[in-house]
Structure 1
């Protein structure tokens, strides 16, 4: 059973952080917005020609836009687990998605999450939207460090009937199942605005995890569209429907940002926007290759925008390589919590964003394994170090790309750099050995 009190290490680190913050600037509010299955090229500020995203485009103009930012996984649960833990998801045994109504799997019941740490550091914590990290009571948001939860536990759900893909109702307020009418994106927006407006003396951490634009593909006017559980209609759609979903997502985010302004919270709030993995069927991942569920760039490279007026220079673009779990480390530092060397794989990106530190060469890893034999998964692993990316599949296929010259991964250079291939291969082996040592049985 998950502990009911915060562990001593976090209390001590929180105390030290509070002392540090007290001597300097106040702790910032943190708003982390995560889209679901949004393609790298599906925003205007990322070159999209047919989707209007004025609010996210403006966010990029007011802050920094990343060009080489990655999701921890190419599907939902792994990336979310990495964000909550600050570690490679493989260390938690969450290499693929938690399936519908799958009990006994998800975040560790007795683990420490980012929400736990920020709550101990004095933050009011909220999750609005998609959880997808476990159905068991001890794995749910309120038991994992959040003060407020409104949303759904499963991987996706009907945008109007609020049931999951197998027909089970899935809409929650705290630990209580509820019924509420409306389009999911709009409901999440309204709850986010209400959360921001709550009187509080402490800073807040709001994790706004949107359902959109994950299937079922239903725009805000598609209430009467026939979408049935366990039926092909659950994944039937078209680009126009997808566009309507993304544009409504942008509209809702615009309302949330406007609420920050209305409440006078803009100047002391770090806003981060990203996606949990690459886009799916009707998305635009250009100029990346492939899509969600693969370790090609289209499966793991995602849009990412950050804004903090007066701290992050406005209108900037960053080629610094980053990954979802970096935000975990970053948010901890902003809360006054020091490095967690034993349980942290990400890095604090604020020195790069504030231009107080030069860009850093990173080495990042991905892996896909097939836990469910009936599901078709291309088992493989990859490592990206600077401009170089090595992909190795279980079938024996190997690829080496220079992403600076070939971001679309079209020219396999595996025969041209044998020493580099060997070096990257050894790093993959060492990484797998390291995560195996910490993965639960």
Structure 2
């Protein structure tokens, strides 16, 4: 029997005590924040000051091999909130837009709904981007980004407050997607009687300005936390709009970094995260609040990556690729956890985890089971918080790009069912010369930059990973349990030309 260190025993005792008192849970999801944009994760090749996240890491744990379920916005959000991969739905590639219909089915349990069943107050604040049934003045379907038949006085259906959240304040999608108007619970805050363009032109509330959204999210989150009572645990999902486009730091943040406007916006994002953490501490919730800070995918090319690299800042750190890609720069993300009652300050975990794992981790902390038909791709990383190995019933983690390309990671091996990035980074699939290997295989321990393709020299490894990926897709789940149903009849695993047998 393995011997536990005194510190592990101390942490275990702290975790048990925390579980008894139902810890608060605050998940802060940045938008397009690269792994290398956080200074403590990229000390040698990062040039942006992020004191709030660095401080949080020093008080808790850094996960160095944590991944979003997708390399773009909507799919990641679905997976984080449901514990289920997005491609099990009809959304096989790309993202939704501001007038998109709901992606989460009414009977699909979310982390919020699960925690609500166990006595939590729940709130979502910020960017939703999972579709809403916005009210119409007639039966004409919404078309494009500037429909004329929005009922600004109507009730919004199948949004956050219908998916497990008691309270919601935020925007329907990314800040470059109309409508440009706040939503509170199931109502618009005002009317979209103006027309504005923050990259895309569409209806807007006359006083709505993109530059105000990030501070507003921070303010509303701090107010919500301050209003909570210690007698009732709370779950707060904070989806920031930054540093996604439009890259608009507030005036007081402009010029604060040495690498331009994107660096300024990352610094402001970091400060808002710091404000939220301070609100937790000021309200007396510090010791028994599990705080997770992460990002929905890697840094966007809109940030001007080549120019930043010339100045010594590498937003993907040592990784290849960026947002939208199948390479790790697209989906290996910052993942910082603070929970003073149960996590050793300044600790680190190199274990492979995915954002789908939030649901199972919450269940593990509460010592309850996830109901059947929920969290099919979720595994608890709670043991890692105490420095112990995660014993997973999931064989590996599935990655997914904006183009719908699949990859499979198991241990040190990563199989990509694409010839190239599978996303926006060159070379893309169309840019690869004829005769290129149909897939990629990398040893992520020896080659984290994914430069030495071992696909043709290790066919047995590639075949084993492909079989496991295929099983995880077709069974409707990647964890132990009875087979589940995907929402679509068939899922195309090979988006490119599959190799001949």
TM-score bracket for this pair, using the shorter chain length = 0.7 to 0.9
| Kept in 2: contact 1:152–1:172 (CA 8 A) | yes
* More moved, 89-98 vs 65-74: 89-98
Residue 298 of structure 1: how far off its partner (Å): 0.8
Measure how far apart 1:28 and its partner are.
Answer: 0.3
Q: Which residue in 1 is equivalent to 2:195?
A: none
Structure 1 stretch displaced more, 311-320 or 130-139: 130-139
Task: Choose the corresponding residue for 1:139, options 140, 148, 158.
Answer: 158
Instruction: Using the TM superposition, give the Cα deviation of residue 91 of structure 1 relative to its aligned residue in structure 2, in angstroms.
Output: 2.1
User: What's the offset of the Cα at 1:169?
Assistant: 2.4
Q: TM-score, normalised by structure 2?
A: 0.73
**Superposed counterparts of 1:354-369, under 5 Å:** 354-357=386-389, 362-368=395-401
Matched, 1:269 2:289: yes
Structure whose CA Rg is larger: 2
2:260 aligned counterpart, secondary structure: helix
Matches of 1:115 and 1:399, distance apart in 2: 37
Q: How far apart, in 1, do the equivalents of 2:184 and 2:286 lie? A: 27
- 1:233-285, Cα deviation, whole Å (9 max, x unpaired): xxxxx951111111111111111111222111100100001001111112511
> For 2:299 and 2:467, how far apart are their aligned partners in 1?
30
**Of 168, 172, 175, the match for 2:179:** 168
Could you tell me which of 480, 487, 493 is aligned with 1:440?
487
Distance 1:423-1:199 versus aligned 2 partners, 3 A rule: closer
Change beyond 3 A, Cα 1:239–1:216? farther
Q: Report the alpha carbon displacement of residue 139 of structure 1 after superposing the two structures with TM.
A: 2.6
5+ residue gaps, structure 2: 1-15, 134-155, 191-207, 306-314, 420-428, 430-436, 478-483, 489-501
Alignment of 1:318-329 (within 5 A): 318-329=349-360
Residue deviations 1:7-39 (CA, integer Å, cap 9, x gap):
xxxxxxxxxxxxxx9997200000100001111
Q: How does 1:181-200 map to 2 (within 5 A)?
A: 183-200=212-229
- Structure 2 distance, partners of 1:358, 1:336, is 16
> What corresponds to 1:413 in structure 2?
454
Q: Which residue in the other structure is 1:390 paired with?
A: 415
User: What SS does the aligned partner of 1:326 have?
Assistant: helix
Sort the Cα spacing of 1:315 and 1:362 in 2 relative to 1 into closer, same or farther, 3 A.
Answer: farther
Report the more deviating stretch, 145-154 or 358-367. 358-367
Aligned to 1:160: none
Counterpart in the other structure of 1:68 = 65
Where do 5+ consecutive residues of structure 1 fail to align?
Answer: 1-20, 158-163, 225-237, 370-376
**Given the alignment, which residue of 152, 162, 170 partners 2:171?**
152
Q: Residues 54, 406 of structure 1: CA spacing in aligned structure 2 closer, same or farther, 3 A cutoff?
A: same
Judged with a 3 Å threshold, the aligned counterparts in structure 2 of structure 1 residues 22 and 314 are, in CA distance, closer, same or farther, namely closer
Q: CA deviation at 1:336?
A: 4.4
Equivalenced residues, count: 392
Partner in structure 2 of residue 430 of structure 1: 471
Find the aligned partners of 1:297 and 1:89 in 2 and give their Cα distance. 18
Following superposition of structure 1 onto structure 2, how do residues 273-288 of structure 1 map, counting pairs within 5 Å? 273-281=293-301, 282=303, 284-288=315-319
**Residue in 1 aligned with 2:232?**
202
Tell me, in whole angstroms, the C-alpha distance in 1 between the residues paired with 2:486 and 2:171. 27
- CA 1:147 to 1:266, structure 2 compared with 1: closer, same or farther past 3 Å? same
Distance in 1 between the 2:228 and 2:397 partners? Answer: 41
Q: 2:357 is paired with a residue of what secondary structure? A: helix
Q: What's the TM-score, normalizing by structure 1?
A: 0.83
Question: In the superposition, relative to structure 1, how do residues 260 and 393 fare at CA in structure 2: closer, same or farther (>3 Å)?
Answer: same
Q: Distance in 2 between matches of 1:313 and 1:422?
A: 40
Any idea what the Cα deviations from partners look like across 1:58-97, whole Å, max 9, x if unmatched?
1111111011000001111111101111111122333334
1:39-73 alpha-carbon deviations (Å, 9 max, x no partner):
11001111253211101001111111011000001
Corresponding residue of 1:30: 25
Relative to structure 1, the CA distance from residue 358 to residue 219 in structure 2 (aligned partners, 3 Å threshold; closer, same or farther) is closer
- Return the alpha-carbon distance in structure 2 between the equivalents of residues 245 and 433 of structure 1: 41
d(CA) in 1 for partners of 2:213, 2:233? 27
Q: 1:324 to 1:290 in 2, by over 3 A?
A: same
Cα deviation 1:294-323 (Å, max 9, x = unaligned): 111111111100011131111111101000
Match of 2:242 in 1: 212
8 Å contact 1:320–1:359 — kept in the other structure?
A: no
- Aligned equivalents of 1:440, 1:293: Cα separation in 2: 23
Greater fraction of residues in helix: 1
Structure 1 CA distance for aligned equivalents of residues 216 and 40 of structure 2: 26
Counterpart-to-counterpart distance in 2, 1:152 and 1:310: 34
- Is the 8 Å Cα contact of residues 218 and 275 (structure 2) preserved in structure 1? yes
Displacement, 1:356?
A: 4.1
Per-residue deviation, 1:291: 1.1
Cα pair 1:95 1:368 within 8 Å, conserved: no
Residue 326 of structure 2 corresponds to which residue in structure 1? Answer: 295
